[in-house]
């Protein structure tokens, strides 16, 4: 049974006369009569009693009309919801981002997008890089702001280059240095992100290239907390320059090849983006790059 047949039943239940219902539906009376007969045959039950005054639903008809009304209402609501979701200006975008971008890059991007598409709805997910890749793969997220493009079928728009600095507490022996290098952390307690996080892999690679193995004292999955531990005198850390100073730490330029984090927008290329997500991607590309920009 089709939705339009259910609408015809509802019209007949409302007007209680074949001629009046047919007029409301803009179809002929014989067409409506045949439709009703076909529905009753399909359901195996007589739904309307006909007499000189019209067609009146019997108890089975009342039950069927209630179900038809519910189905039609659900269908119409689905159509409205899908229409909103598929509207590039007012649809929903599912965006994931790194914790370390929560108070810096993400608010700036959202401000720029909302200025151009104020009716767009954006669902945010704040999570580590490996979880973002999982959610992009499963479709839970459509877009992600992360450090470096993941391996596989992913598109990438580089948005910002973040210089890495070595942070130390005020009064630390290195605090007066104009520049630091990997060897300067030898003998120091080192505070960093746990293994498995993308930023930890970047830090490990930088030190491995220099032949240095930091003495890791604390691991915590939040760069703001890393900075706070350093500010409390619990070690030194390598972080994006934006994280230096919040707890009184001193950020020192770090001399090592590749001592930077490039962040950008990524998405799966093996499936089409929804209209709203594609619009979001276009707006971000047009607004970027951002301060500390990628050339």
Statement: residue 86 has pLDDT above 90: no
Domain-ending residue, one of 52, 85, 118: 85
- Count: domains in the chain: 2
Tell me: the pLDDT tens digits for 206-257? 999 999 999 999 999 889 999 999 999 999 999 999 899 989 999 999 999 9
Residues 71 and 135 in one domain: no
Statement: residue 83 has pLDDT above 60: yes
β-pairing, 92-97 vs 143-147, is: parallel
Statement: residue 293 has pLDDT above 70: no
Three-class DSSP category at 242: helix
Residues 45 and 134 in one domain: no
Q: Which residue has the tokens 């119409």?
A: 76
Residues 64 and 149 in one domain: no
Three-class DSSP category at 108: helix
Query: Is the separation of the CB atoms in 230 and 236 below 8 Å?
Result: yes
What local confidence, expressed as pLDDT, does residue 99 receive?
Answer: 83
Tell me: the pLDDT tens digits for 87-128? 788 888 999 998 888 778 899 999 999 999 998 989 999 988
Domain-ending residue, one of 85, 111, 130: 85
Residues 220 and 106 in one domain: yes
What local confidence, expressed as pLDDT, does residue 31 receive?
Answer: 92
DSSP category for residue 256: S
- For the record, the structure tokens of 129 come out as 């890089």
d(CA 282, CA 141): 17
Task: Residue 146: give its domain's CATH number.
Answer: 3.40.190.290
Mean pLDDT over 168-186 rounds to 96
> Which helix (H) or strand (E) is 67 found in, with range?
helix 59-85
Residues 15 and 101 in one domain: no
Residues 206 and 271 in one domain: yes
Three-class DSSP category at 78: helix
d(CA 256, CA 5): 72
Reported as a pLDDT band with limits 50, 70 and 90, residue 176 is very high
Residues 281 and 265 in one domain: yes
> Which helix (H) or strand (E) is 273 found in, with range?
none
Domain-ending residue, one of 45, 69, 85: 85
Residue 239's closest CA among 207, 194, 210, 200?
200
Tell me: the pLDDT tens digits for 31-82? 999 999 999 999 999 999 988 888 999 999 999 999 999 999 998 888 777 7
Of 87 and 169, the structure prediction assigns the larger pLDDT to: 169
* Distance spanning both ends of the chain, measured CA to CA: 59
Statement: residue 85 has pLDDT above 80: no
What local confidence, expressed as pLDDT, does residue 67 receive?
Answer: 94
Residues 73 and 132 in one domain: no
Task: Residue 43: give its domain's CATH number.
Answer: 1.10.10.10
Residue 124: beta bridge partners? Answer: 95
What local confidence, expressed as pLDDT, does residue 295 receive?
Answer: 39
Residues 79 and 101 in one domain: no
DSSP category for residue 184: G
d(CA 124, CA 105): 14
Half-sphere exposure of 37 (CA within 13 A, CB side): 6
Mean pLDDT over 251-275 rounds to 94
Residues 24 and 57 in one domain: yes
d(CA 161, CA 260): 7
Residues 58 and 109 in one domain: no
d(CA 108, CA 242): 14
- By residue count, the chain amounts to 295
Q: Which domain holds residue 50?
A: 3-85
Statement: residue 294 has pLDDT above 70: no
- For the record, the structure tokens of 110 come out as 């959202």
Residues 56 and 183 in one domain: no
> Which helix (H) or strand (E) is 156 found in, with range?
strand 154-168
Report, in angstroms and rounded to the nearest whole number, the Rg of the chain calculated over CA atoms: 31
d(CA 149, CA 266): 6
**How buried is residue 166: exposed, middle or buried, by Cβ count under 10 Å (0-12/13-18/19+)?**
buried
């Amino acid at each position: 049974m089709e939705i339009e047949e259910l609408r015809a039943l509802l019209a007949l239940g409302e007007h209680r006369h074949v001629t009046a219902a047919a007029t409301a539906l803009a179809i002929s009376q014989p067409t409506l009569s045949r439709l009703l007969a076909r529905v009753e045959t399909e359901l195996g039950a007589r739904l309307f009693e006909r007499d000189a005054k019209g067609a009146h639903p019997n108890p089975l008809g009342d039950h069927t009309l209630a179900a038809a009304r519910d189905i039609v209402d659900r269908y119409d609501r689905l159509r409205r919801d899908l229409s909103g979701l598929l509207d590039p200006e007012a649809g929903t975008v599912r965006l994931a981002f790194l914790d370390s971008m929560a108070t810096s890059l993400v608010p700036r991007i959202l401000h720029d997008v909302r200025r151009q598409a104020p009716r767009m709805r954006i669902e945010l997910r704040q999570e580590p890089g490996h979880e973002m890749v999982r959610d992009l793969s499963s479709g839970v997220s459509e877009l992600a702001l992360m450090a470096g493009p993941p391996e596989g079928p992913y598109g990438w728009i580089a948005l910002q280059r973040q210089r890495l600095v070595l942070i130390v507490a005020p009064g630390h022996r290195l605090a007066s240095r104009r520049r630091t290098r990997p060897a300067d952390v030898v003998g120091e307690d080192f505070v960093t992100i746990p293994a498995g996080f993308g930023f930890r892999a970047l830090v490990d690679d930088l030190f491995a290239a220099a032949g240095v193995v930091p003495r890791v004292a604390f691991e915590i999955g939040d760069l703001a907390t890393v900075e706070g531990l350093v500010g409390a005198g619990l070690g030194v850390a390598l972080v994006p320059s934006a994280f230096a100073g919040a707890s009184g730490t001193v950020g020192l330029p770090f001399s090592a090849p590749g001592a930077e984090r490039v962040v950008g927008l990524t998405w799966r290329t093996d499936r089409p983006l929804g209209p709203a997500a594609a619009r979001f991607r276009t707006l971000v590309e047009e607004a970027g790059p951002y301060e500390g920009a990628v050339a």
